[in-house]
Amino acid sequence: MQDQNKFNYIIQQADNCLILGQRLAEWCGHGPVLEQDIAMTNISLDLIGQARLLYQYASEIQEEGKTEDDLAYLRDAWDFKNVLLVEQPNGDFGKTIFRQFLYDTFSCFFYEELMKSTDERLASIAAKSHKETLYHMKWSGDWVIRLGDGTEESHNRIQQSVNELWSYKDEIISINSVDQEAEKAGYGVSLELIKNKRNEKIKAVLEEATLSTPESDYAHKGGKEGTHSEYLGYILADLQFLQRAYPGNQW
Amino acid sequence: MVISKSQIEEILDEVKDPEIPVISIADLGILRDVKVNDDGFVEVVITPTYTGCPAMMEIERDINNALKKEGINDFKITTVLSPAWSTDLMTEEGKARLKEYGIAPPNPSNEEDIECPNCGSYNTKLVSQFGSTACKSLFKCNDCLEPFDYFKCH
Give the pLDDT of residue B55: 85
Domain boundaries, chain A: 4-245
Give the pLDDT of residue A146: 97
Query: Which contacts qualify for A225-232: CB closer than 8 Å, 24 or more apart?
Result: A225/A81, A225/A176, A226/A77, A226/A78, A226/A79, A226/A80, A226/A81, A227/A78, A228/A77, A228/A78, A228/A80, A228/A84, A228/A87, A229/A84, A229/A87, A229/A88, A231/A87, A231/A88, A231/A89, A232/A19, A232/A77, A232/A80, A232/A82, A232/A87
What domain range is B23 assigned to?
5-85
Give the pLDDT of residue A234: 97
| Judgement on whether residues B47 and B77 belong to the same structural domain of the protein | yes
Give the pLDDT of residue B1: 63
Q: Does A127 touch chain B (CB under 8 A)?
A: yes
Express as a percent the part of chain A with pLDDT over 90: 96
Out of B66, B85, B104, a domain closes at B85
Give the pLDDT of residue A233: 97
Assigned fold of A4-245 = Ferritin (1.20.1260)
| Judgement on whether residues B121 and B69 belong to the same structural domain of the protein | no
pLDDT at B129 over 90: no
Give the pLDDT of residue A137: 97
- Rounded (to 5) percent helix, strand, coil in chain A: 70, 0, 30
Interface test with B, best of A128, A136, A250 (most B CBs within 10 A): A128
Give the pLDDT of residue B51: 81
Q: Does A25 touch chain B (CB under 8 A)?
A: no
pLDDT category at B131 given cuts 50, 70, 90 is confident
Mean pLDDT of B79-105: 90
ipTM topping 0.85: no
| Judgement on whether residues B65 and B127 belong to the same structural domain of the protein | no
Interface test with A, best of B30, B50, B88 (most A CBs within 10 A): B50
pLDDT at B23 over 80: yes
Give the pLDDT of residue A7: 98
pLDDT category at A103 given cuts 50, 70, 90 is very high
* Pairs of CB atoms within 8 A across A/B: 63
Mind telling me how many Å the CA of B2 is from chain A's nearest CA? 33
| Judgement on whether residues B58 and B105 belong to the same structural domain of the protein | no
Flag if A131 and B81 touch (Cβ within 8 Å): no
Flag if B50 and A123 touch (Cβ within 8 Å): no
Interface test with A, best of B51, B61, B81, B88 (most A CBs within 10 A): B51
| Judgement on whether residues B97 and B123 belong to the same structural domain of the protein | yes
pLDDT at B76 over 80: yes
pLDDT at B111 over 80: no
pLDDT at B132 over 90: no
| Judgement on whether residues B61 and B126 belong to the same structural domain of the protein | no
Name which of A87-101, A133-147, A156-170, B105-119 the model is least confident about. B105-119
Give the pLDDT of residue A250: 83
| Judgement on whether residues B15 and B77 belong to the same structural domain of the protein | yes
| Judgement on whether residues B99 and B44 belong to the same structural domain of the protein | no
User: Distance between CA A110 and CA A118 in Å, rounded?
Assistant: 15
| Judgement on whether residues B137 and B81 belong to the same structural domain of the protein | no
| Judgement on whether residues B17 and B77 belong to the same structural domain of the protein | yes
A2-43 pLDDT tens trace: 899 999 999 999 999 999 999 999 999 999 998 899 999 999
Which member of B51, B80, B127 has the closest CB to residue A129? B51
Q: Which residue has the higher pLDDT, A198 or B152?
A: A198
| Judgement on whether residues B80 and B93 belong to the same structural domain of the protein | no
pLDDT at A176 over 80: yes
Mean pLDDT of B120-134: 89
User: Distance between CA A50 and CA B81 in Å, rounded?
Assistant: 12
Q: Does A123 touch chain B (CB under 8 A)?
A: yes
| Judgement on whether residues B78 and B57 belong to the same structural domain of the protein | yes
Nearest CA in chain A to B131: A38
pLDDT at A179 over 90: yes
pLDDT category at A139 given cuts 50, 70, 90 is very high
| Amino acid letter, residue A73 | Y
Q: Phi, psi (5° rounding) for residue A184?
A: -65, -40
Give the pLDDT of residue B20: 87
pLDDT at A230 over 90: yes
Name which of A131-145, A220-234, B109-123 the model is least confident about. B109-123
pLDDT at B60 over 80: yes
B131 contacts in chain A (CB < 8 Å): 38
pLDDT at B109 over 80: no
Give the pLDDT of residue B153: 81
Residue B28 belongs to domain with CATH number: 3.30.300.130
Ramachandran quadrant class, A24 (left: phi over 0; alpha: psi -120 to 50; beta: rest):
alpha
Flag if B128 and A129 touch (Cβ within 8 Å): no
Flag if A38 and B53 touch (Cβ within 8 Å): no
Q: How many structural domains compose chain B?
A: 2
pLDDT mean across residues, chain B: 90
Q: Does B130 touch chain A (CB under 8 A)?
A: yes
Q: What 8-state DSSP symbol labels residue A114? A: H
